[in-house]
Structure 1
Amino acid sequence: MKFLLKSSLLAIAVSSALSTAYAGVKIEQSTIDKAKAIHERVIVLDTHHDFSVANFSEEKNYTMRLKSQVNLPKMDEGGLDVSWLIVYTGQGALNAQGYATAHKQAMAKFDAIHRLTTEIAPDKIELALTSDDVRRIVESGKKVAMIGVENGYPIGTDISNVKKFYDLGARYMSLAHNGHSQLSDSNTGDKDKKWLHNGLSDLGREAVKEMNKWGIMIDISHPSKAANLEMMALSKAPVIASHSASRAMYDHSRNLDDEELLALKENGGVVQAVAFRSYIDGEKSKAFADAKMTIYKKIAKEKGYKVLSRDERKKLTPTQAEAYWAKFMEVAALAEPEVKRIGDTIEQVSVSDLVDHIDYMVKLIGIEHVGISSDFDGGGGVKGWNDASETFNVTLELVKRGYTETDIEKMWSGNLLRVLDEVQNIAQSIQQKS
């Protein structure tokens, strides 16, 4: 069932995707055919998709081909089977009011995902809680939703919220995002070397134990290096980095250095190489981003709208931020033709650059510990894989580099699902002993 559904839709999308990623590059038809066959057979899973609650209503939702990088039509076109939808909350004040606000925001995102899978489109997408669920749902011909929590901040100081999030379907969680949380230092401290906990807090250590107990994968993508090494040392189960690249390949605090990657290998975990321009090649990314922003600001000015700086955006309330990004997306849509024109003249971070990071990490820690993610609708996307409809291009690049179908299956889903199984088996063992 899955093969037939993917095959018919993928064939329509491939030529368009190829023209975006490989303009002017000759690729043997046999290579394309081989990549298509592999892409159709394996379960294609992406571990990190942000979303707006506004896109999960009866009137506007993922059954429609929205401007969002991820929705069901684009997943169909790109042969993407599994979307990890992210319950994200930005870092706020470490006090009761901040925790309460964040918890409310997190619950709204959980509710939105459940609404999509049980009310809006239960015939098209279903929530998976285990690897067996994933395989069953894919075999049925439906898309798969899974839930990750980005930033443990909304658990506040009540450790029982870890179990609450598990019961709501969360199957991974990070303990910090951009800014130190009550649980863990963030990678952002790397800039000024100011740390709150010098790794994890006591509450963060409790959270690691609770995640191990209930079967939530620990995500090390945003915390500090010290926190990551501590989590891997403490955890009784393998961990994941849901969306990170190699720091040896590009020196950004969001990337994992070789010591972290080797510790992750020892831990038995998996790093999901992320298609985020500024983490893959910051110089290339900045050149294109600066040119693009000039266009955005020009169009915004014409529309009487101001593009805010990062510092200005940080001061927005959640409601203001939602409104800001809605307007920004309108500007981006108007700018798209002009941005595409400059994109043909400025070298961009591409699928090839992403796979360079994959190559490096595979060589360092082995194929069993590397996967793939996009961070779509959260800043991710590269030339050739700029939304879910272009997902095939990643498989094509892997085939071009000589990766086998077994390798590609491991990277697209096998490694991540193996870790999920191990985490859940260890949780069962811990629960039986307690």
Structure 2
Amino acid sequence: MADLQDEPHSVGIGAEDLPASPVAAGALERAAALLSVHPVADGCNTLVWTLRQSPYHDIDKPGDSGVDTDLPRLRAGGVGAQFWSLLIPHETGTPTDQVVSDTLEQVVSDTLEQIDVALALIRRYPDSLCLALTADDMSDARNRGRIASFLGPVPGRTLTDSLGALHAFHALGVRIFAPAGASWARQDLTAFGHEVVQEANRLGIVLDLTGCPPTVARQVAAASKAPVIISNTAAAALNPHPGNVTDEVLLALREANGLAMVTFDARRTGDSLHAVADHVDHVRAVAGPHSVGLGAAFGTERGTPRPAGLTDPSGYPHLIAELLDRGWPESDLELLTWGNAQRVLRDAEFTSRAAQHRRTPS
């Protein structure tokens, strides 16, 4: 491929947290080799919120104080790009018509605090993390042995009748935006919601449909000129958890060249690596190999149920090995881990450049 890295990541395969049905050693070796060139672009990690609540954590040390994410385990898992979620806990829930009691001012204030913590995290570990704004930044970080760090999503409830907050977030480096919970994307995409979609396209901000009701998800996917993502989900056809995505939405993502990124939350996938692989298989079968990715939703302290073998980011090679054993071609795995996420970012940038010539800011 055109943008292979100069210095491959070192991917470690630890003995801990092995899946209940270990994959063949040969598959693990192939998985490590693949991830050294095509690392994981993980669509969701909530460490920013965790660090905001418990700022004493040092992620340069493995296994620090029970947090499931640290730099050694990200590297052991072959993670080369990370979307750092800036949502607060009640913004990450499943589709609901409930109105969250926080005021708009509180939501905006909380989001700005999240951005500040994320930027501080990246500055604290300059040898391992770097802020990424574009697909080229993603490749450049990988080539320099860093983890490309994208800011977002931020919550859609920060926008009511003005796009000013969206412009401000973009200026601060945010590149992913989640409509779920916003009044303009609760049951149907309103006229203002269409304005939000158009302006996100113009700015090159990727829309994340996690938590959106299926009707709204399909409407946003159809309205957007750029691909949309669902940064952490699983297949509702295999587990009818309200946070999982239906086949109808997966087909809409396929039509829109979007991306569904499979979570490692046992409540949504099942409690084994094999179950997670089933969800990845299903998303690939319905949405197509160009519309499936990985968004584990790590970044928490003890308590979130994880599938055996995938309790922290170091488990990624075991999942890739399992998919190799299932007969996945390496070309599809390269898309799953890295290629699809980078393509979505590139397409969003292309759409933004085209929109600059057609439309003035709202």
Shorter-normalised TM range: 0.7 to 0.9
1:174 to partner: Cα distance: 1.2
Partner of 1:417: 342
Matching residue of 1:382: 307
Indicate if the aligned counterparts of 2:233 and 2:263 stay in contact, CA closer than 8 A.
yes
Provide the rounded CA distance (Å) in 2 between the counterparts of 1:124 and 1:386: 22
| Aligned position for 1:50 | 46
Structure 1 match to 2:95:
none
Corresponding residue of 1:358: 280
Match of 2:173 in 1: 169
- 1:223 alignment partner, one of 212, 220, 223: 212
Match of 1:64 in 2: 61
Q: Is 1:142 paired with 2:146?
A: yes
Deviations 1:212-235 (A, max 9, x none): 111111111211111111112211
Distance 2:76 2:279 in 1: 25
CA shift, 1:53, in A, is: 5.0
Q: Secondary structure at the match of 1:40?
A: helix
For residues 141-195 of structure 1, what are the alpha-carbon distances to aligned partners after superposition, in whole Å with 9 as ceiling and x for unaligned? 122211112521123443121121122222211111xxx432322xxxxxxxxxx
Cα deviation for residue 3 of structure 1 reads: 7.7
Deviation at 1:270, TM superposition (A): 1.1
Alignment of 1:32-43 (within 5 A): 32-43=28-39
Residue equivalent to 1:399: 324
Q: What secondary structure, in the 3-state scheme, does the structure 2 residue paired with 1:81 have?
A: strand
Superposed, which structure 2 residues align to 1:107-256 within 5 Å?
107-118=112-123, 120-176=124-180, 180-185=181-186, 198-256=187-245
Partner Cα distance (1:22, 1:280) in 2: 15
Give the Cα–Cα distance (whole angstroms) in 1 for the partners of residues 211 and 245 of structure 2. Answer: 10
Identity of aligned residues (%): 24
Pair 1:6 & 2:3 matched: no
Distance 2:281 2:169 in 1: 35
Q: CA deviation at 1:245?
A: 1.1
Q: Secondary structure at the match of 1:271?
A: strand
CA distance in 2, matches of 1:106, 1:277: 27
Cα deviation for residue 210 of structure 1 reads 1.3
Code of the residue aligned with 2:133 in structure 1: it is: L
Partner in structure 2 of residue 408 of structure 1: 333
Q: Distance in 2 between matches of 1:253 and 1:58?
A: 32
Alignment equivalent of 1:100, drawn from 99, 105, 108: 105
CA 1:123–1:235: 2 relative to 1, 3 Å: same
* Whole-angstrom distance in 2 between the partners of 1:242 and 1:235: 16
Indicate if the aligned counterparts of 2:7 and 2:144 stay in contact, CA closer than 8 A: no
| Amino acid corresponding to residue 238 of structure 1 in structure 2 | P
Q: CA deviation at 1:267?
A: 0.9
Deviations 1:246-268 (CA, angstroms, capped at 9, x unpaired): 11111122112111111111111
Using the TM superposition, give the Cα deviation of residue 38 of structure 1 relative to its aligned residue in structure 2, in angstroms: 1.3
Q: How does 1:312-323 map to 2 (within 5 A)?
A: none
5+ long unaligned stretches in structure 1: 186-197, 282-348
Deviations 1:378-427 (A, max 9, x none): 54732111111222111111111111221111001211111111111111
Q: For the residues of structure 2 that align with 1:2 and 1:62, how far apart are their CA atoms?
A: 25
Which consecutive residues of structure 2, in runs of 5 or more, have no partner in the other structure?
92-97
Task: Tell me the alpha carbon deviations over residues 276-323 of structure 1, each in whole angstroms, 9 at most, x when there is no partner.
Answer: 212224xxxxxxxxxxxxxxxxxxxxxxxxxxxxxxxxxxxxxxxxxx
**Is the helix fraction higher in 1 or 2?**
1
Deviation at 1:31, TM superposition (A): 2.3
Q: How far, CA to CA, are the matches of 2:339 and 2:8 in structure 1?
A: 21
Query: For the pair shown, which has the larger CA radius of gyration, 1 or 2?
Result: 1
Query: In 2, distance between residues paired with 1:75 and 1:365?
Result: 27
Q: Please state how far the C-alpha of 1:377 moved relative to its aligned partner.
A: 2.8
Shift of the alpha carbon at 1:113? 1.4
TM-score, length basis structure 2: 0.87
Distance (whole Å) between structure 1 residues aligned to residue 155 and residue 68 of structure 2: 22
1:59 deviates by 5.4
TM-score (norm 1): 0.73
Shift of 1:58: 8.3
Q: Is the 8 A contact 1:55 1:62 kept in 2?
A: no
Aligned to 2:247: 258
CA distance in 1, matches of 2:32, 2:117: 33
